[in-house]
Amino acid sequence: MKFTDLEKIRVEKIERMRQAGIEPYPTRSEVTHTTAEAIRLFTEGEQAGRTDPVQVTVGGRLRSIRLMGKVYFAHIEDGWGRLQLFFRINDLGEEAMEQFREFFDLGDFIQAGGEMFRTRSGEITLHVRHYKMLAKAITPLPAAKDEVVDGEVVRHAALTDPETRYRQRYADLAVNPEVREVFRTRARVVKALRDYLDNLGFLEVETPILQPIYGGAAARPFVTYHNQLKQNLYLRISFELYLKRLLVGMLDRVYEIGRDFRNEGVSYKHNPEFTQLEFYMAYADYLKIMEITENMIAHVAETVLGKRVISFNGHEIDLTPPWRRLELRQGILEVTGIDIDAHPTADSLAEAMRAHGMQPKPGYSRGKLIDSLLGDFLEPTLIQPTFLYNYPRDISPLAKSMPGNPQITERFEGYVGGMELCNAFTELNDPLDQEQRFLEMGRDYNPEDEERHPMDEDYLRAMSYGMPPQGGFGMGIDRLTMLLTDRHTIREVILFPHLRESGE
């Protein structure tokens, strides 16, 4: 390891500690309480009028040290909170006071034991009778001294540089408690989703991440290779095709929460790997899935945040069901003045777009043009929760067509905060129709493209055994977490977001 000057000073302290017979990295601690437990015990005793001392040994990082000659104050922080320590030479003796002064730095993990009391200024504090180094920190935490004003921690010059925060998330978490809170919230979101689906009788399953044929979404995959099998494998881009096989196998309600991988550009709402929830429900259609969706999201907000009206990006968003339902055709008509139903071909639609001063991408299919109208003009306006429904067939190859209208599929997407949150449809379960869709899809691919999507014969065989009618649903957990924590980039809700190699 290479050390800075600041770090060298601490490395030397480690050597001097060992010379003084103090182990800087002892194997065991004697911690009996968290800081929060210690404070709660004391407060309860105080309220009950008890005078017997509350004896605790707590552990944590040193976050502030104030040496005042023969008395020291310090704060430690653990995963539950902060506690002030009070050291007095009368209690600890000269040697212990001197060793603390000489060897202990901000960021060190220590334990301290004694009894709880309240200082003259009112702060609940541990009167230290004994203390011990638990783990010496060599690298200073990237934050300046904290102070506590009226019980609130005020940090001066906190770590803010996004590159350092993401590359050294451990340091970010260590000094920015609100970052820890984001990931606690994220965990509660996942738990609330699981509870909701479990209560509806869904079975949680795990399907392959390494897949010989990828599918279920339109995305470029990551490719890897199995040495012994001499076989290319793809990291999954969705769970869909495997989960739907399970409904053939009579697992009527299944869901999976896991990682998807898409070899595409990164942005504030795209990370190369992201967490997805997909569920499939036999005998349901997309209308039923809409109901489950709005209720599930409202339930999650209620459980995690205790409220259904959230604040996101300066907007007040009310997640209370029922959410607005807006037919895709109507939505596009309202924001662009173009009626997609009046333009049954790509050429016709492109002409209409040009007439409205737009520049449609040459070579796009009608469905892709509609998708671009949606993304460019409609999506940013969908702040309050909205289900857009009825999507064109050619961009929905796994969704069932509407009865009597083969060009429109029973598909919807949920939008909140101007961001696509989820995608769902009445699942196509007609194997002959599905094969036809795959073949049509193949026409979009250049035959010379080595990444050309192969036909998933096994999926068709599964469907040929008979697949119950069903509704399916997919949602990005990362984006939901962004909404519920009011973070505006996906990197804020992923512990270790992907960054370019720094070459350091």
Partner RNA sequence: GGGCGUGUAGCUCAAUGGUAGAGCAGUGGCCUUUUAAGCCAUUGGUUCAGGGUUCGAGCCCCUGCACGCUCACCA
Residues numbered 242-281 forming contacts with RNA, rule: CB under 7 A? 262, 264-265, 267-268, 270
Under rule CB under 7 A, residue 133 binds RNA: no
Of 299 and 487, nearer to RNA (C-beta) is 487
Contact pick of 60, 113, 114, 215 for RNA (by CB under 7 A) = 215
Contact pick of 14, 36, 41, 89 for RNA (by CB under 7 A) = 89
Of 5 and 52, nearer to RNA (C-beta) is 5
Q: Which stretch binds RNA (CB under 7 A): 16-24, 144-152, 204-212, 275-283?
A: 144-152
Contact pick of 54, 110, 133, 159 for RNA (by CB under 7 A) = 159
Task: Give the DSSP letter string of 217-267.
Answer: SS-PPPEEEETTTTEEEEE-S-SHHHHHHHHHTT--EEEEEEEEE--S--B
CB of 195 to RNA, least distance (A): 29
Under rule CB under 7 A, residue 157 binds RNA: yes
| Burial class of residue 321, CB neighbours in 10 A (0-12, 13-18, 19+) | middle
Q: Locate tokens 């205790």: which residue?
A: 306
Under rule CB under 7 A, residue 340 binds RNA: no
Of 105 and 327, nearer to RNA (C-beta) is 105
Of 105 and 435, nearer to RNA (C-beta) is 105
Amino acid at 128: V
CB of 187 to RNA, least distance (A): 23
Residues 168-187 that bind RNA (CB under 7 A): none
Where would I find the beta strands (DSSP E) of 94-222? Answer: 109-118, 124-135, 146-149, 152-155, 203-204, 210-211
Other C-beta atoms closer than 10 Å to the C-beta of 134 total: 20
Torsion of CA 261, 495, 159, 3, to 10 degrees: -90
Other C-beta atoms closer than 10 Å to the C-beta of 70 total: 11
Strand, coil or helix: what is 460? helix
CA 146 – CA 177 distance, rounded (Å): 12
Other C-beta atoms closer than 10 Å to the C-beta of 446 total: 8
Under rule CB under 7 A, residue 20 binds RNA: no
Of 207 and 303, nearer to RNA (C-beta) is 207
Of 159 and 352, nearer to RNA (C-beta) is 159
Residues 271-330 that bind RNA (CB under 7 A): none
CB of 441 to RNA, least distance (A): 4
Q: Locate tokens 């639609």: which residue?
A: 349
Residues 30-69 that bind RNA (CB under 7 A): 64-69
Of 301 and 395, nearer to RNA (C-beta) is 395
CB of 283 to RNA, least distance (A): 24
Q: Give the chain's end-to-end CA distance (angstroms, integer).
A: 13
Task: Give the DSSP letter string of 324-359.
Answer: EEEEHHHHHHHHH---GGG--SHHHHHHHHHHTT--
Of 304 and 474, nearer to RNA (C-beta) is 474
Of 164 and 381, nearer to RNA (C-beta) is 164
What does the DSSP 8-state code read for residue 412?
Answer: E
Under rule CB under 7 A, residue 71 binds RNA: yes
CB of 229 to RNA, least distance (A): 25
Left if phi > 0, otherwise alpha if psi is -120 to 50, otherwise beta: which for 503? Answer: left
Of 301 and 399, nearer to RNA (C-beta) is 399
Q: Which stretch binds RNA (CB under 7 A): 128-136, 143-151, 198-206, 305-313?
A: 143-151
Contact pick of 19, 27, 51, 121 for RNA (by CB under 7 A) = 121
Q: Which stretch binds RNA (CB under 7 A): 3-11, 33-41, 293-301, 317-325?
A: 3-11
Q: Which stretch binds RNA (CB under 7 A): 82-90, 178-186, 243-251, 427-435?
A: 82-90
Any known ligand binding at 7? no
Q: Which of 150, 155, 113 is nearest to 132 (CA)?
A: 113
* Residues 376-405 as x/- pattern, contact with RNA by CB under 7 A: x------------------xxxx-------
Contact pick of 30, 161, 198, 458 for RNA (by CB under 7 A) = 161
Under rule CB under 7 A, residue 166 binds RNA: yes
Residues 427-486 that bind RNA (CB under 7 A): 438, 441, 444, 453
Any known ligand binding at 204? no
Amino acid at 379: E
Residues 217-246 that bind RNA (CB under 7 A): 217-219
Q: Which residues of 449-488 are buried (b: 16+ CB within 10 A; e: fewer)?
A: eeeebeebeebeebbeeebbebbbbbbbbbbbbbbbbbbe
Q: Which of 485, 462, 455, 172 is nearest to 313 (CA)?
A: 485
CB of 201 to RNA, least distance (A): 28
Q: Which stretch binds RNA (CB under 7 A): 189-197, 345-353, 367-375, 402-410?
A: 367-375
Find how far residue 76's CA is from the centre of its chain: 29
Of 78 and 108, nearer to RNA (C-beta) is 108
The torsion angles phi and psi of 234, rounded to 5 degrees, stand at: -115, 140
Find how far residue 503's CA is from the centre of its chain: 27
Q: Locate tokens 């009894």: which residue?
A: 115
Q: Which residues are annotated as a binding site?
A: 413, 420
Q: Which residues are annotated as a binding site for Mg(2+)?
A: 413, 420
